[in-house]
Copies of this chain bind each other. A is one copy, B any other.
Amino acid sequence: MKKNTTIKDIAKLAGVSIGTVDRVLHNRGRVSKKALDKVNQALKELEYTPNPIARSLRNNVVYTIHILIPDAKQDPYWEPCMKGVSELMDEFAAFDLNFSLHTFDPSKPKSFLGAGNKILGEDPDALLFVPLFGKESTQLQKELNDRNILSTTFNSPVWEHVHHHVGQDLFLSGRVGAKLVSNLIDKPCEIAIIHVEEAYNNAAHMQEKENGFRSYFEEQHTDFKILTLILGSKEIRNNFDATVKKHPHIEAYFITTSRTYEVANAIHKLGIKKPVIGYDLLPENVVCLHNDKVQFLIHQAPRQQAYLGLRSLVEKLLFNKELAKVELLPIDIINSENVKSYL
């Protein structure tokens, strides 16, 4: 029933003007010690919290927020990110926000750096980006930090200079995959981790997953043999029987990227029926789930990552909400049944 206290209430209780209260609140000086004490006392007594709505109306500024993500045309994994971004834009359409969307070629670090520099040139208030390339991303992040530009990264692993990051624990993600595999096989046996090599290599990403995967089986103290294979897309499509011949005892496959369907289809074509576990809800992967060519997918929630990252930035700018350094999303396990509830 009671309205929150305002700076007016504070002023009255402290016996000063709202101007003085305001100076205390933003400690911009020009306040006598006596007044300061009285105001602080009143502030404590009435448990004042500023009204974020009034504040943001007053501070009415047009913020410019840039978004830098890989081009979905070159890797459909990024499509949901676009969706997450536009979802957020719609949600905040009524605010004075200026969004500017940039994409880069995920196979070309230079493309990333070029877009990054262009954005810096436009004096942004905030930037959401995917730090796909270690060196270039560090460089960009440093510059952002130096120039005090708000930033959030997502999807790729966190590193030291990061200001705010939304993502998943990839090591744990690998362990989740391992546990799922262990549910589907008779132990001990031979298991393959397949890194699908792309035009670009998100090596840290894959490596973390592999480490997690291996750590799980090491803890089991049973005699598993875990192979790591690095294969190109073409190799998988046209020449997978060579791999199978070379390693005839593989009992399960763990694919560390969204290219899961390529492996699943390749082994299916060879008439092999072994568990396949992989990543991401690409339409091709979902089809494999329904065909039982893939038993489980691990969902990296790219839409949510982009949405939440952007949302954090917006709420920081508009309402001065605090940013946690790292926001870790849950690691979702998907099968043919619950997939529907995630789309």
Contacts and interface: CB of A to CB of B under 8 A. Distances in A.
A110 B62 CA distance: 54
A32 interface: no
Interface in A166-207: 168-169, 172, 175-176, 178-180, 183-184
A278 B154 CA distance: 33
Contacts of A94: 4, 49-52
A283 interface: no
A56 to B, nearest CB: 5
A159 to B, nearest CB: 20
Interface in A213-242: 216
Contact of A2 (B53, B57, B62, B216): B62
A3 B96 contact: yes
A276 B212 CA distance: 25
A338 B172 contact: yes
Nearest to A299: B330
Contact of A338 (B93, B95, B183, B331): B331
A20 interface: no
Contacts of A178: 337
A295 B183 contact: yes
A56 B54 CA distance: 9
Contact of A341 (B53, B180, B184, B328): B328
A328 to B, nearest CB: 7
A1 to B, nearest CB: 6
Given A62-B3, A64-B1, A184-B183, A168 B341 contact: yes
A62 B2 CA distance: 7
Contacts of A338: 172, 176, 330-333
Nearest to A174: B337
A98 interface: yes
Given A53-B57, A94-B52, A95-B53, A176 B337 contact: yes
A60 B332 CA distance: 41
A333 B334 contact: yes
A53 B52 CA distance: 9
Interface in A143-179: 168-169, 172, 175-176, 178-179
Interface in A325-343: 328-338, 340-342
Given A332-B330, A334-B333, A54 B57 contact: yes
Given A52-B94, A178-B337, 19 more contacts: A2-B98, A3-B62, A50-B94, A53-B53, A53-B95, A54-B57, A57-B57, A168-B341, A169-B341, A172-B338, A176-B337, A179-B335, A183-B183, A183-B295, A183-B335, A330-B342, A331-B341, A332-B338, A333-B335
